[in-house]
Every structure is written in structure tokens, then in C-alpha cells.
């Protein structure tokens, strides 16, 4: 069996526990606002990406097969019940884990927002399932001081930290890159990928979802 470079992994306990999903979904939706863009990745299917500032939401559907078949990404799939119990535990306990898609450079810290599954009469033992993951964003609460003498409330404010990180002037594309992930890496916000596209239309062409390897992009 030829190994597909596009693999979906769930990682917990600092990467010590890893679970590869046995069958790639036909479509993954990555959403953070109502506006979405989509692109197709060979061997993986359609990936839908939207722009915005909300926590990223990832959703997809697939199957846990009762036995190996040619569409499996692993030679010896685990029992469907193992995958089911693993995902149910992630939802029940609100565990923060890494969701990783190899080949396109997607890695997010997420929580499992929902997991549903069913077993059809025509293929007893195989589970059809759907999941929704949400990006986990750690927030540091503000500290409030209460002056007991005059009753005034004030916030503890730390001095503004000077941003010494310099944005690169160019970026050379690598295998599996897409403009969304490049923008997320450089700007911290994948929705700004059109800024990079507009500055490099002559190199990329008419489709922002198709970029070659080894292309040196100007970063505006």
C-alpha cells in the first residue's frame, strides 16, 4: 500500500499518545467566519477555509471501518470502538489536544466540541462519524486591585512589550504549503492570505490555491 502524505492525527499527553484516523474524509471544513474559500488537495479532497478572527472550527465526517480496505490510510485499523471511546473521552473531559494534517502543514491545539456516530445495517461493525473541533486559545485574565481605603478599583497593567519580531521580506514555498498557512505563520492570521496573493499574482497565477514549490514570494 502506498502511504498517503496527507494523514490526520490526534495527539494528546504532549505527543506521547497519537492516534491516526484510519480513513481520510472527503471534505474538511475549516471555518472562523461566515465567509469561506475552498481548495482541493490531491489525495485528501476539498478543504474549505474562511477568514476572520474567531476561534477556528474544524469539522469533517468519515468512517471507522471494521476491517482494512483499500481506502484505509493504515494497514491494520484499530477496532472502531477504540476510536469511538477515544473521541468520546476528548469530548467528555474537554481535553486540549493537537489536530495535525500532514502534507499541508496544519497543526492546531483544539478541543473536541462534538462527536456523533452511527452504525448502518448494511455494514454492521463499521461506524460512520462526524466531529467538530474548535481551536483552543489560552487567555490570561486581567488582575484587579481593590483599594480598601478609598474603594477604587484599578487594573494591574504590564508595560507594553516591544515587538522585536521582524516580518520577513520574502518567503520561499515548500512542499505542502498553502497561502492560508503562510499568512498564519507570518501574520498570525491566515485570513490575510489574499494580501500575499495580491502582491504575487504574477508568480502564482489566477488561482491562489495553487502554488508551486520553490517559489519566492514577496511578503507585503
Instruction: Give, in words, the CATH class of 8-135.
Output: mainly beta
pLDDT at 213: 84
What is the rounded distance in angstroms from the CA atom of residue 220 to the CA atom of residue 206?
Answer: 19
What is the rounded distance in angstroms from the CA atom of residue 187 to the CA atom of residue 17?
Answer: 31
Residue 70: DSSP 8-state: T
What is the rounded distance in angstroms from the CA atom of residue 50 to the CA atom of residue 104?
Answer: 16
Pairing type for strands 8-12 and 144-146 reads: unpaired
Whole-Å CA distances, 173 to 24, 116, 191, 213: 25, 38, 18, 5
Reference 42, options 97, 95, 5; nearest CA is: 5
Domain chopping of the chain, boundaries: 8-135, 164-215
Confidence of residue 54 (pLDDT cuts 50, 70, 90): low
Are 22 and 72 in contact, with CB atoms under 8 Å apart? Answer: yes
Q: Is the pLDDT of residue 64 over 90?
A: yes
Highest mean pLDDT among 47-56, 85-94, 175-184, 208-217: 85-94
Summarised one tens digit per residue, pLDDT across range 3-31 is 567 899 999 988 889 999 999 999 999 88
pTM, to two decimals: 0.58
Mean pLDDT (whole number) for 190-213: 84
Summarised one tens digit per residue, pLDDT across range 73-86 is 999 999 999 999 99
Amino acid at each position: 500500500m502506498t502511504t498517503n502524505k496527507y494523514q490526520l492525527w490526534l495527539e494528546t499527553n504532549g505527543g506521547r499518545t497519537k492516534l491516526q484516523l484510519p480513513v481520510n474524509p472527503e471534505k474538511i471544513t475549516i471555518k472562523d467566519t461566515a465567509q469561506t474559500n475552498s481548495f482541493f488537495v490531491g489525495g485528501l479532497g476539498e478543504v474549505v477555509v474562511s477568514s476572520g478572527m474567531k476561534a477556528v472550527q474544524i469539522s469533517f465526517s468519515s468512517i471507522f471501518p471494521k476491517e482494512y480496505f483499500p481506502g484505509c490510510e493504515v494497514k491494520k485499523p484499530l477496532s472502531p470502538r477504540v476510536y469511538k471511546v477515544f473521541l468520546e473521552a476528548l469530548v467528555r473531559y474537554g481535553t486540549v489536544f493537537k489536530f495535525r494534517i500532514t502534507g499541508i502543514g496544519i497543526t492546531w491545539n483544539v478541543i473536541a466540541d462534538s462527536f456523533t456516530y452511527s452504525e448502518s445495517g448494511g455494514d454492521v461493525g463499521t461506524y460512520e462519524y462526524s466531529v467538530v473541533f474548535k481551536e483552543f486559545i489560552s487567555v490570561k485574565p486581567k488582575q484587579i486591585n481593590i483599594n480598601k481605603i478609598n474603594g477604587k478599583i484599578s487594573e494591574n497593567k504590564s508595560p507594553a512589550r516591544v515587538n522585536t519580531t521582524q516580518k520577513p521580506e520574502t518567503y520561499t514555498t515548500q512542499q505542502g504549503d498553502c497561502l492560508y498557512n503562510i499568512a498564519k505563520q507570518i501574520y498570525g492570521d491566515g485570513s490575510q492570505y489574499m494580501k500575499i496573493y495580491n502582491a504575487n499574482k504574477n508568480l502564482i497565477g489566477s488561482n491562489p490555491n495553487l502554488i508551486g514549490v520553490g517559489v519566492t514570494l514577496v511578503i507585503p
